[in-house]
């Protein structure tokens, strides 16, 4: 019998960073493990607590408003050393929108600068108007286009060595000008895509799971699932969101 496998997720600040259903991503990761006879443990980390990453396989940070980002900033700074060690060791970190912005060096709003974690070489400034609407992205990590919803004032700029998550086919992405969306660095995935991200993007969910299983067990293989409904939803959105 195959060795029993399981993954542990640290979900940072779910009470503050849960825009547009971002916490729903936890349900998708859990179900896609359970459907394959693997267990999933989710440890919620609240503001003021420090995440213990010694046993974490995946860290998830959702999006939030500027106000909420200011609140989590201090908490995040106290976790910086541990998070940086986790990332450099190949830990899987998924961050959406406000969480994505905090992976970088800074988020500047006029005269005010919210310090980021500098886990990935990128920075964000707030611009006008907000970039709002449906988004479609072509990415090497998923055989389907990535579809979802974005709503951000921030314009994110990637450092020279940072790979984008993908190319924008519809919507704005990182800053509305580069034609790029999100970032990939080691096993870090940053993106503006809410929705939540994973229910309509099974390829992204399985990329996250296989990266974590590879690091933990040296085996990234995942049994295929019947994704008929997820793929139909994905295709419907991809077609609708790329119509002009």
> Given the rule CB under 6 A, which residues bind ligand GLN?
19, 63-66, 69, 97-98, 151-154
> Other CB atoms closer than 10 Å to residue 225's CB: what's the count?
14
Question: Has 105 been annotated as catalytic?
Answer: no
Which tokens is 222 given? 């995942």
**Least distance from ligand GLN to the Cβ atom of residue 7, Å:** 25
Q: How many residues does the chain have?
A: 244
* Nearest CB to ligand GLN, comparing residues 58 and 97: 97
* Nearest CB to ligand GLN, comparing residues 46 and 130: 130
* Nearest CB to ligand GLN, comparing residues 196 and 199: 196
**Least distance from ligand GLN to the Cβ atom of residue 38, Å:** 30
**Least distance from ligand GLN to the Cβ atom of residue 1, Å:** 43
- In the set 40, 97, 183, 237, the catalytic residue is 97
Which tokens is 115 given? 């310090």
Question: Has 183 been annotated as catalytic?
Answer: no
For 148-183, the three-class secondary structure string (H helix, E strand, C coil) is EEEEEEEEEEECCCCECCEEEEECCCCCCCCCEECE
For 46-82, list the strands marked E by DSSP.
58-61
* Nearest CB to ligand GLN, comparing residues 152 and 200: 152
* Residues 54/216, Cβ–Cβ less than 8 Å: no
State which residue has the least CB distance to ligand GLN: 63
Which tokens is 8 given? 């542990």
Return the active site residues.
97, 194
């Amino acid at each position: 019998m195959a060795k029993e496998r399981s993954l542990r997720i640290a979900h940072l600040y779910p009470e503050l960073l849960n825009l547009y259903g971002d916490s729903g991503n936890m349900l998708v990761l859990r179900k896609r493990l359970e459907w394959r006879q693997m267990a999933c443990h989710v440890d919620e980390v609240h503001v003021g607590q420090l995440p213990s990453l010694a046993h974490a396989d995946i860290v998830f940070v959702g999006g939030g408003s500027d106000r909420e980002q200011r609140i989590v900033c201090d908490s995040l700074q106290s976790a910086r050393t541990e998070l940086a060690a986790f990332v450099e060791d190949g830990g899987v970190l998924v961050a959406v929108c406000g969480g994505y912005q905090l992976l970088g060096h800074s988020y500047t709003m006029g005269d005010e600068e919210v310090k980021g974690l500098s886990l990935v070489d990128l920075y964000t400034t707030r611009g006008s108007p907000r970039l709002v609407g449906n988004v479609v992205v072509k990415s090497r990590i998923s055989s389907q286009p990535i579809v979802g919803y974005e709503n951000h004032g921030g314009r994110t700029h990637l450092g020279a060595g940072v790979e984008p998550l993908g190319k924008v086919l519809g919507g704005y992405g990182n800053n509305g000008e580069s034609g790029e969306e999100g970032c990939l660095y080691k096993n870090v995935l940053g993106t503006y895509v809410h929705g939540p991200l994973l229910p309509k993007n099974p390829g992204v969910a399985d990329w996250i799971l296989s990266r974590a299983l590879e690091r933990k067990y040296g085996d990234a293989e995942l049994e295929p699932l019947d994704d008929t409904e997820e793929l139909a939803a994905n295709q419907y959105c991809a077609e609708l969101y790329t119509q002009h």
